[in-house]
Structure 1
Amino acid sequence: MVNSLSAAPKSAPFVSGFDRFGRHAELTPEISGSLLVSELSCDACHPGDRPDLQAKRGPILEGIGNRLQRKWVQQFISSPQSMKPGTTMPDVLHGLSKEKTQSAIKALTAFLMSQQQPFPTIKATGANPVPYEFWNKGNISRGRDLYHKIGCVACHEPDPDYEPGETKISPNDKLLAQLDPEEIKELGLAAQVRPVNSVPHPDLAAKYTPQALTFFLLNPEQTRSAGRMPQLKLAAVEAADIAAYLLRNQKSVPATADNRDAAALIIAGRKLFIEFKCVNCHRVDDLRPMFSAQPMVQLKANAAASCYHNPKAAMPAYPLDEQQQAAITAVLAEVSQDPRPSREALLAIHLLQFNCYACHERDKRGGVGFNRKPYFETVGHVDLGDEGRIPPTLTGIGFKLQKDWLSKVLQGKGDIRPHMQARMPLFPSRQIAVLPNQFENVDRKVERSEEEVFPEHEQLAPAGRIMLETGCIQCHPIRGESMPGVVGTDLGEVTERVHPQWFHDFLLDPASLKPRTRMPTFFPDGKSQNKAVLKGDVEQQIASIWAYLKAGDKQPLPAKILAEKAKNYELVPDKKPIILRTFMDEAGTHAIAVGFPQKVHIAFDAEQVRPALAWKGRFLDAQGTWFIRFAPPADPLGKSVVQFPAGPPVALLKQKQQAWPISKPGESTLEFRGYRVDKQGVPTFLYRDQGIDIEDRLEATQQQTLKRRLTIKPGANASAATQLWFRGLAGKTLKAVNPTTMQNETGLRVTVPEAFAKAAQVRTHDQITDWIIPLPLTGNTTIEVTYQW
């Protein structure tokens, strides 16, 4: 999806909030100007004490010498805007002669590249494995998926060739898509459909090495302390994957440059770094600013020369466009009167600075851009509407969320939407510590205590347990337990999350606080539909639900959940196959179990991308998968369990005697791409190996054998000279039953068509004997395989 909007000149600094709202008169001039003043770091030189004008400042440059590539640093100093369009870095060399400019660039580069600092050590944990030199093992395909799913594209440009998953469009968006531009304008909906411009990337391949970009993604705060680029809670291998995707056009990994320069040149660069006031914005080498310009309140909006209008040689030069100049002129005229921004304006400015509006809507401003919504998906494409895939509104959030919980969310400890692919970013705590108080001060118009909202509610908890069964548990888990198929936010900690008054008002009339919510009202016209509980008293019924949820595990789970848990959850395929994602010992934590009515079943390992198990008889018990946290892996209930060969089913081998590859996450070239289900309910697993697409369909037969159909589809770049092999069977010993059938010591027999069998090879490597079959890459090829045991 290509962004078609380009209102700002390419040379102008790009500030997201100004570009999206200020350019369209959707911010007051004062807010627009304050945002620009802070993002351009004006008060780094022009001191002031207004919180809305505090300077963002530039990156920390300690360690820049081994983070960035020398050539890029040199070119960026020479021409910041051409090396990073939209940068807020001014031109500080514009007043020098050509000879002095080149001399200054050389000295400044020498000084900066002398700033060496080792990369931090990342400690491995169970949830965050750290392979040796993980930054060199990134997977481009996985990184591409992560970049487009976890929220990066809320701010940055999506890949026009990336196809997001199938997402149901909300009725409101369907309507907007059908309106013509004039109708949209007349209805006042232009802001909702206007494409959102992207925060530009520099030439990342020229700027970073894989190691440097990986460590930056893991912890942007280390160099960008202002928090405009947040963490996305990446594991080490995830950061390496995204870095590999972003550097996919890097022709070769840059060698570590010899950054040793003459000491005199470094000293000269250090002196210039102070002289050009770079130190006012950047932290490096314990240097401190030696210069302050006129205080902000003394600046004249109509001055003949300024940093953004006819700058003199000693001034930094900001290439602002007319709209940006007008906004700063307006705020400078206001600052001279020294008013203080309102609480509402100050909160809005902070949200604009951190670009919260890229994901969240507040008071009809912002939210995920119309052109970005398709990239926001639920896990497994579960249809929960926009509430399940789009980050929640911030309208009235200080009225809704308790301050302590809001702080937890901002600290990255309050995730309650595991069904959402997008991740809540993590910002530097010192930068966003003021937000919970600001939200509460702006949004909590009337403050009522829990006792005032729900007087004497504790004794009502048993009734609340009954009330939850009237609709709540059909959509929400309770303390990690739920009805089958339920995906939603867990209500177990809701009394720690939300204010009692909001809870009361929301249950009474959900749509009044959350327009277009899927949450139904159980009290239409303020009347209860359940007269049997607490005599139908609405206030007491709402209070009872609060009381039950607050009691936590002191109260038993709702009866319906307990009844479901007590049932026999053995899955019995009847007319169609059953597909269950689960954990299994031999198929791993990404197992996809398929049960067939013919009483032959398989388990596919989606992490190692291979069929792992097959068995006969009974299928699986789903109780552990559905209900039990930290349940042991599911075991086949049937008998005659056989294992398929370890490692990938197909492989490109340079030599026929080469060892068969081992499937390891992050090291295998196989990429799992999901599965599709046909009308008979049979899945076809899809994967890719170095540009070769493979479709793998397994189904049971009436004779209780497995019929497998592998279809190979070489891509345009696949070389006909490269040999792809299918591993038909492996074992300690193999025996030819007939010209087309091979059997191993476990009794598993594999049969292939005669033409393929004639070309097959038997070989032994590391005490394992393989029956491998060559597959041509000159066109699409299908091989049918039969398994019996």
Structure 2
Amino acid sequence: MSVMLSSTTAHDHWWSIAESMWARSIPRVTGNTLPPYRVSQCRYTVSNRLWNPGTTTRVFRVNRILIVVLLVLTACFARRGLAQSPSQPSLTDRLLAAGSDSLADQARERGDGVRGAILFSTQTLACTKCHAQAAEDLLGPDLNQAIAKLKDQEIVEAILQPSKVISKGFESVKILTLSGRVVTGRIVRRDDETILLRELSDANRLIEIPTDDIERLANDTVSAMPTKLADQLADRQQFLDLVKYLMDIAQAGAMPKVAGTINVATGTLEPRIYGKVLLDQFGCVNCHHNDTDETTRQRLMPAKQAPLLTSAASRIDPGYIRRFIADPHTIKPGTSMPNVMGHLSGDDRDAASTAITHYLVSLAGAPFHRDDVDAESATRGHELFHSVGCVACHSPRDEHGTESMPENSVALGDLSQKYSVAGLSTFLEHPHSVRPSGRMPDMKLTHWEAIDLANYLSVGVDSQLESSPMQADPSLIDHGRNWFAKLGCVECHVAKDAVQSNQHRQLATHSPALSQLDTERGCLSTGFGNWPRYELDDNQRDAIRVALAAADTALGDRDQIVLTMESFRCYRCHRRDDLGGVSDQRDPFFHTTNENLGPQGRIPPSLTGVGGKLRSKWMRDVLVGGRSIRPYVKTRMPQYGADNVAHLIELFAAVDPKPSVKITETPDPKEARKTGHELVGRSGLNCIACHTFQQKPAQTMPAVDLTEMAQRLHKEWFFQYMVSPQLLSPGTVMPSFWPGGKAIRKEVLDGDPNLQVGAIWEYLLEGRQARTPQGLQLEPIELLADQDRAVMLRRSYRDIGKRGIGVGYPGGLNLAYDAEQMRLAMIWKGKFADPGGVWRSQGHGTVRPLGTDLIAFSAGPDLDDARQPWIVDQGRPPHHRFTGYFLDDIGRPTWTYRYGEIEIEDYAIDGNDSDADQPLLKRSVTLNSQRPRDNLVFRVASGKRIRAIDEHSFLVGQSLRVRIDPQHQAQIVDAGSEKRLVVPLSLPTGRTTLEVEYRW
């Protein structure tokens, strides 16, 4: 029959029919009863594979054939565990069945608020992205206020059934724009002109939508909070711990409001300060200097100095130098270099630029040579450029090298035409030797990183540029030196033997002080004349005029900070007060080595109040010495040079007061240190679960080192932060162990927050000499097979990755299978595995095999083409597809995958060699081919050494004996640094079986 229905109606109509048929029919097909939630899982899996609605209406031809196909697919998925889906109800389902009253009672009696606080802050649950104490503009409500109104059982329901009751003001909305874009989120602010929305898909992002651009706005009855959040927890105890922490918060009072975002600024730079930044950027004071001018006298940072040119022609192509001098704004759009030859005729401009180039070549000492780009090095350079912080100021580039954000970026120009690879790498490694003013900072690149980055930035060099080194013409050197002075180049650039006398200058015959300038003439005009011409827009000209009008007004300390931070582009990474922070466009290029740390693990820290936070010595270590305590942040803290930024240390201290907090002095420091040691440990507040200690990373996340806290921080700031972390660091993953000023650990020091924090501070004062807290050295978790059933663990394994599947067999043998590359990855004896590295780090660690006699095999698929094998890398072979596994009656898996038109089943069981009285692993590989296929090879083992024992037996390494069934012949082949034991295969149509035994 044929039916015309709307896509949604038809979809639901036929699925309701199919579900009822499945519920009745599946027991007949599989021999097992399928519970309702499994029927829904089948529906979800099959519909996602078969259903792809693309239009509003669609013709459905539903007949018995379709129903049969769906039933067969469902039976298949039911038999194979829905491609690794669990066969038991989820944790959320089990908790709902237990009831909210019972769970609330259990949380009060058995829950641990400290463990719950840590769970609350992990990225597995990501609670802090939407909820924070005292935050007012996140997706979720202020917990102190919202939870305080709830009964304990209602807190349980809020987690398990978030859409049951949605807090007023925190409803989600769906907005359809005129362009067809659909945005879902929470309205943070709304007026007649715009709606400010906290986006559901990215809780860190605020977007502003003009009301005129909205076609439709509708309320969403589904909460922004995930419905199955509890499934991210390991067990019921973790749920009880989380609930207990929320109960503790509910008992606390409300806290002051703070902004919810950590990387979005709302302010704008004052025009007078922006104008002063531009005066510095374009080097105006180099010509218009005057010792009595307030703009010059009030500066705390030295004026920007142009690049040193003494050795420039050995790094930079002389042909590029000549073209750039003649027309800088065409050769490098966005440059701060003025056009000083606009008033010259074409012939004079060519003559002057050529002469100056010969003068600079004479100073270089070494000739310029081009070198070839190393493709592999350039690939590494691409990764560096887009991860260490270069794109905070410079535009990111696509795969073709095209800049994607040129309008908001510092111009680089065509570096492939400008530099040699060697010259550019030398500059990148030591930028201050050429640009001492620090506007191009030192990114702390190693020698090899600088080479990689230089190769990447040199990709695309025109081979036609290759030429013999330019020799300086003696007859032009003096002319060039004179032009260098006449055109005013000498005012900004330092070059050996340059003429300094003003009598040679054409451009600066009248260079009044900044305060005496006519702002409608000269450099600020739009006309051409006997003055430098800068690439300025109207906004920049207006800002400079405002700055010049205020030239006699001294800048205060706070404005000096803003001037310095804007001049050195600190605001591209750091937020301070209402200025700066990482933009939405550049946010994807800020990375971390540990996702558990949240945005703070990849976004440079806020500098709001930093003078009241950091000790001056530590700040100097960071700004001048390059010290770093956040190795998990891939973006590097640049070095600008002590002369350029050291003044910030005193300015921050002068402007930012220390928090005003009550500190109770510790009567007995020794006893306090002992208590602090206990609080930091696992049985106290478990700080060691997240923080590095003496450079040893924690299991959960490598947060800042505890042993450097007292060395870094002012005591007052530490006390304030510990009690109210969100107040000083909005969006932090640091939980509050004293919510509302009330201690979670009430049994310690009578629950006095001041005494507890003071005890921790006394302990931290010992720095690297502090005693190791309990919990840093963790005992392994042993996951073992039952006596009569295998155990499996799907997690990341060493040298396998996240698609590793470990199997522990009842007989004491174990293996790990790589479902990414379809291979047997390792085998070992004895105890199965320690999953602590995964369980304690919310899925980001690796499983550690226990036991003994571990044998690892090389990467790459076991089955491959003998003539054109896949070149092994970290990815998935393009012609292989893992299709899942199914279990036998004692839980031993059969791996299934496809290679082209061949279906493979790989099944291993543990056995016993009665002759040698030792266990063995029997492996049966069945290949089902749709047509004859030659030139295949199956790898059964690999190692440094392999030798034949007899026709079908082989010794791999020193202990592994491999036996191949008599129906197949194995070969030993060389593969670079290792040998491989392979079985050549020529498959007929149908099934072929290969049997292999492993003894060791």
CA contact 2:267–2:578 (8 Å) conserved in 1? no
Q: CA deviation at 1:622?
A: 9.0
Give the structure 1 partner of residue 391 of structure 2: 153
CA contact 2:946–2:972 (8 Å) conserved in 1? no
Give the 5 Å matches for 1:157-556: 157-160=395-398, 197-250=408-461, 252=463, 255=466, 257-285=468-496, 287=498, 289-291=500-502, 294-306=511-523, 308-310=525-527, 312-313=529-530, 315-335=531-551, 338-380=552-594, 382-444=595-657, 454=665, 456=667, 458-459=669-670, 460-468=672-680, 469-481=684-696, 484-552=699-767, 554-556=769-771
CA distance in 2, matches of 1:591, 1:63: 51
CA distance in 2, matches of 1:772, 1:304: 82
Residues 708-734 of structure 1: CA deviation (Å, up to 9, x unaligned): 99xxxxxxxxxxxxxx99998676666
Give the structure 2 partner of residue 702 of structure 1: 909
Q: CA deviation at 1:85?
A: 1.2
Residues 122-155 of structure 1: CA deviation (Å, up to 9, x unaligned): xxxxxxxxxxx99857533332222222222222
Could you tell me which amino acid in structure 2 is paired with residue 280 of structure 1?
E
Give the structure 1 partner of residue 92 of structure 2: none
Give the structure 1 partner of residue 214 of structure 2: none
The change in CA–CA distance for 1:735 and 1:651 in structure 2 (over 3 A counts) is: same
Could you tell me which amino acid in structure 2 is paired with residue 159 of structure 1?
R
Q: CA deviation at 1:320?
A: 1.4
Matching of residue 100 in structure 1 with residue 348 in structure 2: yes
Q: What's the secondary structure of 1:702's corresponding residue?
A: strand
Matching of residue 115 in structure 1 with residue 331 in structure 2: no
The change in CA–CA distance for 1:419 and 1:216 in structure 2 (over 3 A counts) is: same
CA distance in 2, matches of 1:462, 1:85: 63
Could you tell me which amino acid in structure 2 is paired with residue 464 of structure 1?
G
Give the structure 1 partner of residue 219 of structure 2: none
CA contact 1:196–1:371 (8 Å) conserved in 2? no
TM-score, reference length from structure 1: 0.70
The change in CA–CA distance for 1:486 and 1:33 in structure 2 (over 3 A counts) is: closer
CA distance in 1, matches of 2:751, 2:415: 63
CA contact 2:301–2:645 (8 Å) conserved in 1? no
Question: Which of structures 1 and 2 has the bigger CA Rg?
Answer: 2
Could you tell me which amino acid in structure 1 is paired with residue 471 of structure 2?
R
Q: CA deviation at 1:245?
A: 2.5
Q: CA deviation at 1:484?
A: 2.9
CA distance in 1, matches of 2:939, 2:430: 42
Give the structure 1 partner of residue 12 of structure 2: none
CA distance in 2, matches of 1:432, 1:729: 57
Q: What's the secondary structure of 2:349's corresponding residue?
A: helix
Q: CA deviation at 1:519?
A: 2.3
Could you tell me which amino acid in structure 1 is paired with residue 676 of structure 2?
G
CA distance in 2, matches of 1:488, 1:496: 16
Which blocks of at least 5 consecutive residues in structure 1 are unaligned? 1-20, 120-132, 163-193, 628-633, 661-668, 685-696, 710-723, 776-783
Matching of residue 37 in structure 1 with residue 279 in structure 2: yes
CA distance in 2, matches of 1:652, 1:423: 44
Q: CA deviation at 1:113?
A: 2.6
Could you tell me which amino acid in structure 1 is paired with residue 426 of structure 2?
F
Q: What's the secondary structure of 1:379's corresponding residue?
A: coil
The change in CA–CA distance for 1:575 and 1:647 in structure 2 (over 3 A counts) is: closer
Q: CA deviation at 1:531?
A: 2.7
The change in CA–CA distance for 1:482 and 1:85 in structure 2 (over 3 A counts) is: closer
CA distance in 2, matches of 1:223, 1:774: 62
Give the structure 2 partner of residue 68 of structure 1: 316
Q: CA deviation at 1:244?
A: 2.7
Residues 481-530 of structure 1: CA deviation (Å, up to 9, x unaligned): 46533331222110111111111111222222122323232223323233
Q: CA deviation at 1:103?
A: 0.6
CA distance in 2, matches of 1:594, 1:202: 49
CA contact 1:398–1:439 (8 Å) conserved in 2? yes
CA distance in 1, matches of 2:951, 2:345: 86
Matching of residue 51 in structure 1 with residue 299 in structure 2: yes
CA distance in 2, matches of 1:489, 1:680: 42
CA contact 2:301–2:643 (8 Å) conserved in 1? no
Q: What's the secondary structure of 2:484's corresponding residue?
A: helix
CA distance in 2, matches of 1:348, 1:422: 22
CA distance in 2, matches of 1:447, 1:295: 49
Q: What is the number of residues matched between the two proteins?
A: 654
CA distance in 2, matches of 1:110, 1:611: 66
CA distance in 2, matches of 1:650, 1:78: 63
CA distance in 2, matches of 1:285, 1:75: 22
CA distance in 2, matches of 1:154, 1:42: 26
Give the structure 2 partner of residue 176 of structure 1: none
Could you tell me which amino acid in structure 2 is paired with residue 312 of structure 1?
G
Q: CA deviation at 1:418?
A: 2.2
CA distance in 2, matches of 1:263, 1:651: 67
CA contact 1:576–1:680 (8 Å) conserved in 2? no
The change in CA–CA distance for 1:214 and 1:706 in structure 2 (over 3 A counts) is: farther
TM-score, reference length from structure 2: 0.56
Q: CA deviation at 1:466?
A: 2.6
Q: CA deviation at 1:371?
A: 1.2
CA contact 1:57–1:226 (8 Å) conserved in 2? yes
The change in CA–CA distance for 1:86 and 1:532 in structure 2 (over 3 A counts) is: same
Residues 190-242 of structure 1: CA deviation (Å, up to 9, x unaligned): xxxx9982222211211122222222222222222221222222222222222
Residues 576-625 of structure 1: CA deviation (Å, up to 9, x unaligned): 3465677xxxx89x999985435445699x9xxx9997544446779999
The change in CA–CA distance for 1:762 and 1:677 in structure 2 (over 3 A counts) is: closer
Q: What's the secondary structure of 1:149's corresponding residue?
A: coil
Q: CA deviation at 1:357?
A: 0.6
CA distance in 1, matches of 2:728, 2:943: 61
CA contact 1:581–1:591 (8 Å) conserved in 2? yes
Q: CA deviation at 1:93?
A: 0.9
Residues 285-311 of structure 1: CA deviation (Å, up to 9, x unaligned): 253743476353443243533465435
CA distance in 1, matches of 2:608, 2:501: 44
CA distance in 2, matches of 1:487, 1:64: 44
CA distance in 1, matches of 2:824, 2:451: 28
Q: CA deviation at 1:71?
A: 2.4
Q: CA deviation at 1:36?
A: 0.3
CA distance in 2, matches of 1:624, 1:318: 58
Could you tell me which amino acid in structure 1 is paired with residue 379 of structure 2?
S
CA contact 1:301–1:330 (8 Å) conserved in 2? no
The range that moved more, 483-492 or 572-581, is 572-581
CA contact 1:612–1:644 (8 Å) conserved in 2? yes
Aligned-pair identity in percent equals 29
Which blocks of at least 5 consecutive residues in structure 2 are unaligned? 1-263, 290-295, 503-507, 841-846, 887-892, 896-903, 911-920, 927-936, 986-993
The change in CA–CA distance for 1:304 and 1:377 in structure 2 (over 3 A counts) is: closer
CA distance in 2, matches of 1:394, 1:359: 10
